[in-house]
Structure 1
Amino acid sequence: MICVFDCETIPDIELIRKNFEVEGEDFEAIHQALQQYEAKAGTTFLPHPYHKVVAISAVFADDFGRFKKVGTFPGDDEKEIIESFLSYIDSKNPKLVSFNGRNFDIPMLLLRAMKYNLSCSAYFEQDNQMLNKSKWENYRSRYSESFHLDLMDVLSNFGAARGLKLDTLCQMAGIPGKFDVDGSQVLQLYYNNDLDKIQEYCESDVINTYLLFLKYELLKGGLSKEEYRDILYRMQEIFPKEKSYSEIFMNYMKKESHGSE
């Protein structure tokens, strides 16, 4: 099983109030903290511990990369969302596919898991012959694609090519990319209680990542052109039809599955 995943986060207001000089309502206090951090560090992207998880979405595919479904891990709060994701890894040991997941999503998730005393032994396991895990082949092996393929790592030649962004790569490759919401809007959506829109945005991100993953498999010879087109053709039959992102991705799949040689 392949799990192409992504997380959406907002700043952790409790941790912010402990470490920044802020006042007022939560939303305003967060913006004060971001301004303070930007003045100090030159960026509004806070360190990993400050990221509170509000959604984890995934495309699920079989071992050959064929699309099965897209969805969001269940949970009424951060603890339940993270627990759902880690329990899935523990029970299924899927191959993870991400974009910058090694540098951000996974370290952040494991740190936040510690806040709630959660565990995920499968992620740290290094000796399991049944699952072909070894010292060199496991979730934490950066240069192995067997358990975690980080597309940002491999497409940048492990940092040799800098500045790669998912949306830019998707646009270059003809994949839809971001079209409605972007990550900068997640905080506002959260405080507007528009969690469904956050989840749909997260799902659209993992669909983009999955489509880029297919092109990577085609590039390295893991898929033939016929297999690639067949995956996209069959994907249309079971792809969600009622989501805000449905039409744009369906149009892409129709065009790409009948593409030129």
Structure 2
Amino acid sequence: MRLICVLDIESVPNLALIAKHCPECVADDPLQTCEAFFKWCEDKHKSTFPPLFFHQIVSIASVLAEPGGSFKRVGNFGKGGNTERSLVADFLAFFNKYQPQLVTFNGRVFDLPLLMLKALAYNLDAHAFYAQESKWENYRYRYSEEFHTDLLDSLTHFGPAKGLSLDGVCGVCGLPGKYDVSGDEVYKLYYQDPPQLERINSYCQSDVLNTYWLYLKYLLAQGKLSEEHYLTILHGFKSNLPEQSYTSVFSQAVEAELSQEIQKEDHV
């Protein structure tokens, strides 16, 4: 069975590409450049979210879990430094070596295509992603959850249901969700002087923690995880959280979930 890797990336607009493709957006201040660029995107593409190639990766976080779901650790990639190339190279080295089961929220549409685009840009080896054991068993096959579970895909029944967001699903399920920073604020943190990289990394970690916990609930709903095992995993999850800005938020949410389950048992 595969190690589980719950993955999330954070990105900002690439100022060099903005200068190349829409020089009219360039201002003296990076934040003003980004804001003008978002308006350009809305006018040109009917969305403030930039096309994929304009994104610069600034953080890659993951939760690593045992094949049965037990929490191991949470952290960020980028042992070689904070450059985009270092972040992507570190992740791909891990990915090629361990070939884990990936878990994401919208990763099939954004995170993985962007990572593979960066592999092309930096001439990096991403062979594990493209390996194909069979037509149905590989990371690129949409319905192969043993290789990649994109929870947005799974929870929307691969398309028919619309309008789900990670924060919205977390709210329904009693998970912390976006409690401090949201994805559309990351560029403001990055283009401050100095860049707030630790805060971005902490936010990225909080996103993968939400996604990991949501995945446990998904396994529970599928009958692949017993309620008893789920509660045991939550105890271990809470005990092994690192000291970060999100620690108390997640600890309190876990305590609330455990207390709710105890109350259910008392009424049986």
Inter-partner Cα distance in structure 1 for 2:221 and 2:181: 29
Partner of 1:244: 245
Q: 1:22 aligns with which of 3, 25, 36?
A: 25
Partner of 1:254: 255
Partner of 1:88: 94
Q: Map Cα deviations across residues 107-165 of structure 1 (whole Å, 9 max, x no partner).
A: 011112211111210111113xxxxxx22111111011111000000100001101110
1:27 Cα offset (Å): 2.8
After superposition, the CA RMSD in angstroms is 1.1
Partner of 2:135: 135
**Letter in structure 1 aligned against 2:48:** T
Partner of 2:104: 98
Give SS of 1:187's match.
Answer: helix
Inter-partner Cα distance in structure 2 for 1:239 and 1:108: 28
Partner of 1:186: 186
Give SS of 2:96's match.
Answer: helix
Q: 1:115 aligns with which of 118, 121, 131?
A: 121
1:41 Cα offset (Å): 2.2
Where in structure 2 are there 5+ consecutive unaligned residues?
none
- Is the 1:230–1:257 Cα contact (8 Å) retained in structure 2? no
Give SS of 2:215's match.
Answer: helix
Inter-partner Cα distance in structure 1 for 2:33 and 2:175: 37
Give SS of 1:247's match.
Answer: helix
Partner of 2:224: 222
Inter-partner Cα distance in structure 2 for 1:81 and 1:57: 10
TM-score by length of 1: 0.94
- Is the 2:25–2:40 Cα contact (8 Å) retained in structure 1? no
Q: How does 1:157-196 map to 2 (within 5 A)?
A: 157-192=157-192, 193-196=195-198
Inter-partner Cα distance in structure 2 for 1:29 and 1:175: 35
Indicate whether 1:146 and 2:152 are aligned.
no
Partner of 1:49: 53
Q: Map Cα deviations across residues 1-39 of structure 1 (whole Å, 9 max, x no partner).
A: 100010000011111111112232333222212111212
Inter-partner Cα distance in structure 2 for 1:250 and 1:218: 20
Inter-partner Cα distance in structure 1 for 2:155 and 2:102: 16
**Letter in structure 2 aligned against 1:252:** A
Inter-partner Cα distance in structure 2 for 1:120 and 1:41: 30
Inter-partner Cα distance in structure 2 for 1:234 and 1:100: 27
- Is the 2:18–2:26 Cα contact (8 Å) retained in structure 1? no
TM-score by length of 2: 0.92
**Letter in structure 2 aligned against 1:228:** Y
Partner of 1:130: none
Q: Map Cα deviations across residues 42-101 of structure 1 (whole Å, 9 max, x no partner).
A: 211011111100000011100001000010112320000011111111000000000000
Inter-partner Cα distance in structure 2 for 1:161 and 1:179: 25
Give SS of 1:4's match.
Answer: strand
Where in structure 1 are there 5+ consecutive unaligned residues?
128-133
- Is the 1:57–1:73 Cα contact (8 Å) retained in structure 2? yes
Question: Quick one: percent identity of the two aligned structures?
Answer: 44
Inter-partner Cα distance in structure 1 for 2:152 and 2:77: 23
The count of aligned residue pairs is: 254
Inter-partner Cα distance in structure 2 for 1:29 and 1:166: 28
